[in-house]
Structures are given as C-alpha cells and as structure tokens.
C-alpha cells in the first residue's frame, strides 16, 4: 500500500482529470490530429529504444556481464512477481 503523500492543496487528482477530459473533448480536430501524430511518433521511438536496449542486454547476458542497474531492475521485477504469485495462491 502506498504511503499517504502530502497534497499541495491546489487541485485534486479527480478534479484535474475532469478538467483535462473536458478540455480534450473541446479541442479542435487539427490540434487533436497533431497530438495523435506526436503520440504515434513517440511510440515508434519508444519501440526502437526498447529494441536497442534488448539487443544490448542480450549481448551482455551472452558474455555473462550484466550492469548493476539491470541486476537491480531484474531483482525488483522478480520480487514483484513472487509477491503477486504469493498473493494469488
């Protein structure tokens, strides 16, 4: 369970979500198309970056060298999966 975080008191998450949704619904088609195009471009870039990362990671694993940050992330992912399995049983 996440710790309670102190709010800045200016706007709540629900109110912010509603405001964004309302404004997005009022956006003109040209702006909406631009945003969707930018999102699609970012998705392509993300997939290319992940492909590059996975190739790099594969090469390191093949020679038996894994940087500490990768080891930490893998350990964290394994702990989360173990907790999930333990909770589902």
**Res 48: pLDDT:** 97
Task: Return the residue matching tokens 């492909």.
Answer: 51
Mean confidence (pLDDT) of the chain:
87
Is the pLDDT assigned to residue 88 strictly greater than 70?
no
**Res 58: pLDDT:** 83
Is the pLDDT assigned to residue 69 strictly greater than 90?
no
- In this prediction, residues 57-73 reach a mean pLDDT of 82
3-state secondary structure 36-47: HHHHHHHHHHHH
Report pTM.
0.57
pLDDT tens per residue across span 24-45: 999 999 999 999 999 999 999 9
CA distance linking residue 29 with residue 41, whole number of Å: 18
**Count of helix runs (H) and strand runs (E) in the chain:** 3, 0
* CB proximity list for 52: less than 8 A, separation 6 or greater: none
């Amino acid at each position: 369970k996440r710790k309670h975080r102190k709010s800045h008191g200016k706007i709540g998450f629900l109110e912010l979500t509603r405001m964004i949704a309302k404004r997005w619904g009022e956006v003109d088609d040209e702006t909406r198309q631009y945003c969707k195009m930018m999102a699609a471009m970012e998705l392509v870039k993300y997939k290319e970056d992940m492909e590059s990362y996975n190739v790099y990671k594969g090469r390191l694993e093949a020679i038996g060298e894994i940087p500490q940050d990768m080891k930490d992330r893998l350990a964290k992912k394994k702990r989360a999966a173990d907790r999930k399995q333990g909770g589902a049983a």
